[in-house]
């Protein structure tokens, strides 16, 4: 019995057709068929024969889209190969979480409050509505409503994030593990990566877990020669060997030292968890019960990139409200757009959210690591500059 194949003629002499996944040698073609035409072929006993024309091409072959997705790179792989691999990573991720007892949720992409963190540049869509930079607030409302452990793979949006490692629209997975602490969450990350290494074959050759844990204090000492990051901005810059004039605010000086001296080296010897951030950078995490100067926050780094940001979640309504108001005031002082507080999220904390650890992990960057590329465009169907 014949099998039908829909493929594009990519060469007349010799005669070859491709469906984008596989190239076939064809035994005969009519004279009115041109390179670029989509045709229906029959396959019988391994022989591919022309059956009928499907869609003619009115432009010279190969066209823009075929070149973009089917031209091999220096490693012999195409962008379409990467997109198929991306699909495999996404399906593997869903399998990992559903098999682990989580259930998948969806939350709106258009929200009334994008958050008030000082670094955030949200995308306004109309009036007082924004494209969601993170599903965090809505997922925490689900937790307060009794969802139990949940995960979500979703699109997120942030302005002014473009480049080799950034795109203003990106895919993120967030998951919330009820009853877990920060270290349990780090183990979750290791388990996910280990599962995906086996599930996908790991063409990027990522090192298998376990991964190094390093506190922020240890990282500042090792990579910036700073024995105490609580020093004044002037002292921080001097010890770190930064010759420019330091900013007035300690937080700004700390972050500049981190970005210039610490972050580039965190994954020199493989993936690494950076733990115990200063309380000033606690964001939505709780403070360490054994050391109130640091937060139960960590970030996961690999190949010089931040891959994930995790918290042992703050559930105290009063503390979170105070922090949010403080960040809103900082935005006002620095002249940044003022976003509304998400009062429904804050009220859900007041109602009661279970003890939970949660994390946001960049799926695009995880695919980059597993595939083995250092450019985010190679694992996206279209980046912002291609629209």
Q: Compute the distance between CA of residue 247 and CA of residue 9 in angstroms, rounded to an integer.
A: 61
Q: What is the mean pLDDT of residues 321-340?
A: 94
Q: Residue 384: which pLDDT band, with cuts at 50, 70 and 90? A: very high
List all residues 6 or more positions away from 164 whose beta carbon is below 8 Å from its beta carbon.
374, 375, 376, 377
Q: What is the mean pLDDT of residues 20-46?
A: 94
**Average pLDDT value over all residues in the chain:** 96
Q: Compute the distance between CA of residue 342 and CA of residue 320 in angstroms, rounded to an integer.
A: 11
Q: Residue 161: which pLDDT band, with cuts at 50, 70 and 90? A: low
Residue 160, pLDDT > 80, answer no
User: What is the location of CATH 2.40.50 in the chain?
Assistant: 3-70
- pLDDT for residue 352: 96
Q: Is the peptide bond before 210 cis (omega within 30 degrees of 0)?
A: yes
Q: According to CATH, what is the number of the domain 3-70?
A: 2.40.50
The domain over range 79-211+270-386 is classified in CATH as 3.30.930.10: yes
- pLDDT for residue 119: 86
- pLDDT for residue 92: 98
* pLDDT tens per residue across span 48-81: 999 999 999 999 999 999 999 999 999 999 999 9
Q: Residue 259: which pLDDT band, with cuts at 50, 70 and 90? A: very high
- pLDDT for residue 254: 98
Q: Residue 230: which pLDDT band, with cuts at 50, 70 and 90? A: very high
* pLDDT tens per residue across span 333-373: 999 999 999 999 999 999 999 999 999 999 999 999 999 99
Q: Compute the distance between CA of residue 150 and CA of residue 358 in angstroms, rounded to an integer.
A: 10
For the chain, percent of residues with pLDDT exceeding 70: 99
Q: Are 160 and 49 in contact (CB under 8 A)?
A: no
Q: Residue 126: which pLDDT band, with cuts at 50, 70 and 90? A: confident
Residue 305, pLDDT > 80, answer yes
Q: Compute the distance between CA of residue 256 and CA of residue 338 in angstroms, rounded to an integer.
A: 24
Residue 288, pLDDT > 80, answer yes
* pLDDT tens per residue across span 199-224: 999 999 999 999 999 999 999 999 99
129 token code pair: 């509505």
* CB burial readout 342-359, b (16+ within 10 A) else e: beebbebbeeebeebbbb
User: What is the location of CATH 3.30.930.10 in the chain?
Assistant: 79-211+270-386
Residue 104, pLDDT > 90, answer yes
Q: What is the mean pLDDT of residues 41-50?
A: 94
Residue 135, pLDDT > 80, answer yes
- pLDDT for residue 21: 87
């Amino acid at each position: 019995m014949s099998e039908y194949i829909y493929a594009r003629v990519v060469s007349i002499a010799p005669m070859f057709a491709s469906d984008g996944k596989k190239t076939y040698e064809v035994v005969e073609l009519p004279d009115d068929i041109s390179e670029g035409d989509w045709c229906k072929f029959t396959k019988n006993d391994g022989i591919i024969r022309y059956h009928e024309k499907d869609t003619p091409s009115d432009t010279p072959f190969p066209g823009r889209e075929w070149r973009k997705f089917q031209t091999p790179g220096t490693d012999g792989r195409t962008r379409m190969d990467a997109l198929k691999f991306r699909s495999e990573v996404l399906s593997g991720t869903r399998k990992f979480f559903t098999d682990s007892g989580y259930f998948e949720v969806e939350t709106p992409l258009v929200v009334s409050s994008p958050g008030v963190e000082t670094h955030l540049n949200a995308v306004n869509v109309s009036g007082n509505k924004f494209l969601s930079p993170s599903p965090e607030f809505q997922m925490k409302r689900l937790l307060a409503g009794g969802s139990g452990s949940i995960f979500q793979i979703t699109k997120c949006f942030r302005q002014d994030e473009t480049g080799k490692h950034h795109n203003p629209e990106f895919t993120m997975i967030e998951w919330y593990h009820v009853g877990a602490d920060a270290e349990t969450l780090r183990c979750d990350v290791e388990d996910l990566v280990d599962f995906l290494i086996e599930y996908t074959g790991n063409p990027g050759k990522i090192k298998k877990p376990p991964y190094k844990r390093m506190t922020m204090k240890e990282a500042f000492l090792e990579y910036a020669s700073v024995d105490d990051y609580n020093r004044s901005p002037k002292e921080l810059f001097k010890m770190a060997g930064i010759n420019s004039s330091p900013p007035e605010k300690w937080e700004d000086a700390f972050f500049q030292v981190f970005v210039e001296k610490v972050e580039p080296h965190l994954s020199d010897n493989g993936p690494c968890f950076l733990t115990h951030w200063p309380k000033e950078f606690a964001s939505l995490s709780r403070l360490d019960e054994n050391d109130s100067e640091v937060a139960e926050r960590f970030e996961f780094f690999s190949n010089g990139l931040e891959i994930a940001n995790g918290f042992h979640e703050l559930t105290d309504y009063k503390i979170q409200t105070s922090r949010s108001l403080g960040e809103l005031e900082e935005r006002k002082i620095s002249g940044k757009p003022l976003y509304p507080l998400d009062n429904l999220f804050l009220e859900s904390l007041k109602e009661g959210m279970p003890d939970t650890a949660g994390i946001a992990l960049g799926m695009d960057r995880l695919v980059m690591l597993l595939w083995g590329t250092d450019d985010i465009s190679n694992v996206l169907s279209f980046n912002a500059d291609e629209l």
